[in-house]
Each structure stands twice: as C-alpha cells, then as structure tokens.
C-alpha cells in the first residue's frame, strides 16, 4: 500500500515518486531509503487544514488552501497563521519573496480617492486682503472652511465684533472700509449668505477689488454644500463671480486656482486642469501653485 504523504509547504498530498509538489512547486525531501518521508513531512491535522491562512502583509484571512492573498495579492507562505504581535494582531512583516501588490489593489485606489477628495475640501480656499490695499501673497490671510455657522453658535467676542461692525455699517453705509471688514468677518464666521450681501454692498462702491470678488465667489461655493437644491446654481454663480474678478486682475493666481476647484466640483475635469495650469504659469514658486500641481498630479 502506497503511504499517504503531504507537502510541508502547502499540505497537498504527494506520491513517493514526486520530486516537486504539483500544487506549489516546492521541492519534496524524502528519507534516505526513499520509502519514508523526512520527519518534517507530516500531514497536518484536519483541524489545522480548516484554519484560515492569515496574510502577514495585510492581515487578511484567506482559505487554508489559498496560494495568494485575496486582499493584497501577496504570496502566502506556510499554511499557518501569521505571527502575533504583543497586541494580539497579525504582524505586518512582509513574507519572503512576496510581491508587493498593494499599489495595484482596489484598496490603494480607494485611498487615493479619499486623499483627493480631502485635498479638494482643504484647498478650496482663498487668501484675502483685510483692507482695500494691494493683493496679499498666497502665504497670508485666513483660510475658508466649508460649511455654515448659525448665529447662536458664534463665539461671544466674534458676535460682539459683528454687532459693532453692523451698527457702524448702518450709520455709514458708504464707508467702504467698514463694509469690507464686515464682509470678511462674516465670511470668517462662516455666515456665507450674509457675507455675500455685504460683499455686494462693498463692490457697488469698489467694483475693481478682485480680492473681494474672489472671496464672494468662494462664499457662494461654500453655500453649495449647505443647500443641495441650489447647489448647481451656487456653483455657477461662484464661477461667474471669480471669472469677473479675472477681468479686473488677469493674473490673480487665487482666482485661477479656485476656478479649477469649482470646475472639479462640477465634473469638468478638462477645464479644471486648464485652470490649474494657468495658476502655475503665473508663478510656479508660490504655495497655491504647489497646490495646483498636486491636483494635476492626480490627473
């Protein structure tokens, strides 16, 4: 009767005449007489063969007879669970000779998508001049945050500042410095609809202020996230507002950058790429140009 023997690498049944395993290709080592397997060629118990094979690269549990990991594509070693760390979780060591296929997997694609969406949210910003003077450099000024705030959620000091500015604007409706400061403060407080109203009041007296127009456009952009029914309308108004700013200041780098962001949100990737390239062409050394380059690298 031919003895039943198994491959110590994969557990596949082999014959005494086999030199290599027909399942995994591992070399079969036999005893001196060839009739008995070497001591290490022991058939795994039935319970062991039912245990999942844990990938030591990603920790995914695979069927006991799997040759490669179904999650990351790494070649699985012996049919034993991955070594445990002190925390009880599989270690993250890479098995010998295992190809690193994570960057070709769906998990990596999903990670890129998450990072890309995060960049859109973080970089949909504008840097604003606090006075009516010349435009600031991209490294200065506050950063916008997507989402709106309710008046009762405001910090008491900020609420007091807004109250004072609104009173001053009511008594001096042609004081452009007050109107712009009020618009900027409302913007910083994420009271975007009210900020838009004050930007319009200011621009009625100072239509050539490209900074204020860009800020008003980004206020509309933020409003598109809080009103799904008017989302398309707000995005279109944001685009038109910032395009008007470029008529007054054709080399306004933040305007070109934000038009790229808005184009991405409307699904027009080709136009977005064009705006980001124009942004970089204005001055490739600025922070906003580097942000534009990050978007281009995703496409």
Residue 185: CATH number of its domain: 1.25.40.10
Does a structural domain hold residue 243?
Answer: yes
In sequence order, the β-bridge partners of residue 75 are 68
Q: Residue 70: what pLDDT?
A: 62
Residue 169 has pLDDT above 80, yes or no: yes
Q: Please, which pLDDT band fits residue 255 given cuts at 50, 70 and 90?
A: very high
Give me the number of domains the chain comprises: 1
Residue among 19, 1, 21, 2 nearest 11 (CA): 21
Q: Which domain, by its residues, includes 122?
A: 111-127+135-297
Q: Residue 50: what pLDDT?
A: 59
- Tell me the three state secondary structure of residue 109: helix
Residue 184 has pLDDT above 90, yes or no: yes
Does a structural domain hold residue 221?
Answer: yes
Contact between residue 68 and residue 74 where contact means Cβ atoms under 8 Å apart: yes
pTM: 0.55
Q: pLDDT tens digit string along 34-52?
A: 434 444 444 455 555 556 7
Does a structural domain hold residue 91?
Answer: no
Residue 28 has pLDDT above 50, yes or no: yes
Give the residue-averaged pLDDT of 183-209: 95
Q: Residue 126: what pLDDT?
A: 46
Give the residue-averaged pLDDT of 262-267: 92
Residue 54 has pLDDT above 60, yes or no: yes
Does a structural domain hold residue 61?
Answer: no
Does a structural domain hold residue 118?
Answer: yes
Q: Please, which pLDDT band fits residue 32 given cuts at 50, 70 and 90?
A: low
Between strands 5-6 and 13-14, the pairing is antiparallel
Q: Residue 33: what pLDDT?
A: 46
For residue 235, the Cα-to-chain-centroid distance in whole angstroms is 21
Does a structural domain hold residue 216?
Answer: yes
Contact between residue 298 and residue 261 where contact means Cβ atoms under 8 Å apart: no
Q: pLDDT tens digit string along 280-294?
A: 999 999 999 999 998
Does a structural domain hold residue 73?
Answer: no
DSSP string, 36-80: SB-TT--PPPHHHHTS-EE-TTT--EE-TT-SB-TTT-PBP-SSS
Residue 139 has pLDDT above 80, yes or no: no
Between strands 53-54 and 61-62, the pairing is antiparallel
Q: Please, which pLDDT band fits residue 53 given cuts at 50, 70 and 90?
A: confident
């Amino acid at each position: 009767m031919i003895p039943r023997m198994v491959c110590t690498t994969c557990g596949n049944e082999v014959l005494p005449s086999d030199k290599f395993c027909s399942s995994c290709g591992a070399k079969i080592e036999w005893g001196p007489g060839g009739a008995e397997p070497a001591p290490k060629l022991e058939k795994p118990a039935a319970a062991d063969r039912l245990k999942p094979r844990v990938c030591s690269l990603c920790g995914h549990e695979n069927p006991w007879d799997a040759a490669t990991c179904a999650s990351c594509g790494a070649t699985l070693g012996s049919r034993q669970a991955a070594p445990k760390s002190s925390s009880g979780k599989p270690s993250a060591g890479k098995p010998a000779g295992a190809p690193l296929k994570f960057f070709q997997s769906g998990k990596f694609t999903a990670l890129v998508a998450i990072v890309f969406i995060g960049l859109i949210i973080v970089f949909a910003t504008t840097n604003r001049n606090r006075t009516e003077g010349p435009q600031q450099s991209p490294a200065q000024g506050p950063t916008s945050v997507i989402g709106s705030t309710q008046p009762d959620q405001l910090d008491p000091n900020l609420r007091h500042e807004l109250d004072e500015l609104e009173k001053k604007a009511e008594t001096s409706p042609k004081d452009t410095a007050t109107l712009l400061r009020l618009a900027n403060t409302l913007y910083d407080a994420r009271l975007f609809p009210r900020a838009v109203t004050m930007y319009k009041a200011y621009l009625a007296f100072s239509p050539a202020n490209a900074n204020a127009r860009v800020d008003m456009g980004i206020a509309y952009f933020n409003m598109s996230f809080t009103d799904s029914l008017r989302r398309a309308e707000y995005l279109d108004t944001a685009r038109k507002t910032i395009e008007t700013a470029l008529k007054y200041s054709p080399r306004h780098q933040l305007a070109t950058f934000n038009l790229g962001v808005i184009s991405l949100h409307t699904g027009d990737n080709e136009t977005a790429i064009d705006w980001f390239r124009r942004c970089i062409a204005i001055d490739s050394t600025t922070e906003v140009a580097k942000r534009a380059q990050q978007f281009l690298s995703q496409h």
